[in-house]
Structure 1
């Protein structure tokens, strides 16, 4: 992997984004441990404020566990439309500095500021300016990592959270990676980290010292990537406007469901969410997928590719329900269902709509 020389990359990461929006909009929540999510028995923490994190509350934690760890925890129902609106506001700020913005999620993005639009001489000063503008316009804080590639910029953004920034220069890069535990490498998940540990690879230095042939033997196609990042090399470009490949929505029920009417009601509700996104963005897909998770956490998916993109919400309902009906009869309760649409015909309007048929509303 050849290294692209002279780039200035910033990774911006909003601080406890969902929870911070809730604390901003409701002053009574400020300084208190807040969890975005639902407190019921089957609920899950979507996001946690820094005050909640001090008690060990983390995202994806069952709500009952979170309350056990922090009895004072305040649950707030998520407001995803509000978070999207704030995210759009932040992205407009990014656009004032560079056209090369690659969003990773609602609350983080890579920016290539090698040639920034403001003429600011350093990436560090640019990041400081961006963070100040985000605070002034949204009332929220952001952290930033600055480096010469995406891998190191993302590592750096965690180094001064919350509300800080950190620079990893080309001279610092190899040494910074040497001492870092491989479990902290972006892209090395728990399973891979455990496998590396079993092979005696605990730090970046350990990973760097393993020959490429050794890594290929144990990690296959990922070996070249691990070999490169252990040396601070990452030539991936900041790619703006990556095309979205699917849109989906899922929900966990408060109790396991076995009655077809209840299951299908959940599927229709998820289909409504997906159709609202498709209509808003005028992006329509041909493949419909339904995800089912049972009470024992086993999950299955059922998919159907239609001859042309889904044209109405009613058609999405019909297809989604027929897919979930393929798993009947239900002997073990269903705890979660999800619906997604993929194989997009980007920018096109479904044929049925072009013929003037009314568009169904979710």
Structure 2
């Protein structure tokens, strides 16, 4: 997920080629043959039904799913755009024309947009068969099952015992305050919708949540707006320990960066779902519904389970990355964030302002 403001337009490259005069007739003949046979491949990709998907979802992680959709629907020209969660929320109301599909991990914001009537209600076999706990009013759908994790540098274990639980983390922040100064990172609840959501959920389950926030402030924890920024900091040594990272991104990163260790908390682990909906004013509603159907389908979920660490929701899909397999490994300590109207409370302006005010106060607390 990229942070920052949207850039209008794209840079175009102009490549100049010089051809030898004697090759011109041959090239001209070859071009004529290609056009007459209809083999101008790249051009055909632009002739299908357009589909604009705005998503807070790293392309590098979701690419296998996009490829599978293109294979299943060659008649649709998919334009997938990776944004930040806050950009996605703005695009719902500000983009003109509206996007066809919107995907975000900032669950309360997605729910609020749907509650305001900005999503189309869908009716298909895939929608009807989708688990009730992972959809709302047949308008918005949670199609992934991603654990929230801690991550640390391998060499941290040579300096101190890495935390396994939230209580361990609090102890480490207080006993190793000097050593960890500036070396801990987590989400900013102000700059990231995901960060705000995760801290709100932590407050429900961690008895000493505000002490934990104070502990992070005590080590001058660095606040980032994306999991990718935290992971980069861990790999380059700026950070030793990261808290509340998206497990899907962290697992992919750790496969290529052995210096980073991913830890699913052993006391409890939050689980986040990416929520997708078709915009009420989608310019291409049929293509949009086909895309969401594919996300929910056995074929689409099989790709999630086998080729991405986004974790499949469907109970009838088998693979290394499924909700059931995660439950088997972690047990009752998984706490999925409920996909229901209770999410709306988290974006209530007064409640949000009060929570952030206390967060700032506790983060600056000096014991």
Is this a same-fold pair by TM over 0.5?
no
**In proportion to residue count, which structure has more strand?**
1
TM-score of Structure 1 vs Structure 2, range by shorter chain: under 0.3
